[in-house]
Amino acid sequence: MRPMSSPVGLPALADSDLVGQIARILMQAIVQGRLPPGSKVVEAGIARELGVSRAPVREAARLLEKQGLLVASPRRGFFVRKLEIRNIDEIYDLRLCIERHAGVLAAQRLTPQSRDALRRQIDVLHRTADLDDPARQVEEDYRFHRLIFEIADNRRLLRLFDDLAAELRMVIGLIGRLYDDPHEIARTHEPLLAAIEAGHPERITAHVDYHIGHAWREVGKLVRELTPSTGIATEPQGGILLPANGVPA
């Protein structure tokens, strides 16, 4: 179908899956910090910037609300979910507990097929690093960790991981902002995969502790830097989805 017109510098949005495309663009803006935690999603401004009506923007916001990236306030609209230091600590404390166990179980139940699936996912992370698409990288990073839980074959453990999905997406997005080289995110997963392949519980636990513990410390620092001194939600000024030079990042 013929794509809808859009401002210069933005990719044209196809009529098909318009809501999904807008949700992805909004997620990119959140991951890259152009829509920081606590900021308001200004539907009219976003619709104008994308050259669409407000209706699909609102539907995209509802979709991201279901994923936990946005929160809705009656008569005020949608806001980017805030990440507080206490939330970060609770998320990572629980992640350490369940990912240690999931890693050990995955090693015990690893098959040639599931091993290859993990390797392919790291390859996907490397390929995604070349796309300059932080939102996609967040999803692929999340999929790598979820795959470990699927291989562990413990439904309740997987449910615990899925319950953290929204917070994990935001946290992984923050991690992406810590690295100058996007390929570094993929490389940080390789020692963990090697430990699972080797099947040594102590090594797996050590690599999980390092992989997640290092991210915990660095994300905590970043959240402290990003947390505003006031509790007032902000409305981004100017272009929301484009960087200052008007070229998609």
Please count the other Cβ atoms lying within 10 Å of the Cβ belonging to residue 217: 11
Q: Residue 161, exposed/middle/buried by CB under 10 A (0-12, 13-18, 19+)?
A: buried
Phi, psi of 217 (to 5 degrees): -65, -45
pLDDT digits (tens, 9 = 90+) for 171-217: 776 666 666 787 888 899 999 999 999 999 999 999 999 988 888 88
Q: How far apart are CA 109 and CA 99, in angstroms?
A: 15
Residue-level pLDDT at 9: 39
Q: How far apart are CA 159 and CA 174, in angstroms?
A: 23
What one-character DSSP code corresponds to residue 145?
H
Tokens at residue 14, please?
Answer: 């196809």
Residue-level pLDDT at 13: 57
Residue 136 is part of a domain; what is its CATH number?
A: 1.20.120.530
With a CB cutoff of 8 Å and minimum separation 6, the contacts of 118 are 144, 147, 148, 151, 193, 196
State which residues of the chain have pLDDT below 50. 1-10, 229-233, 237-238, 242-249
Residue-level pLDDT at 178: 64
Domain termination site, one of 80, 105, 125: 80
Same-domain status, 48 and 75 = yes
Q: How far apart are CA 135 and CA 141, in angstroms?
A: 10
Q: Which domain holds residue 89?
A: 85-226
Domain termination site, one of 58, 80, 102: 80
Same-domain status, 99 and 222 = yes
Residue-level pLDDT at 87: 81
Q: How far apart are CA 127 and CA 166, in angstroms?
A: 24
Same-domain status, 222 and 185 = yes
Tokens at residue 90, please?
Answer: 């609770």
Same-domain status, 52 and 142 = no
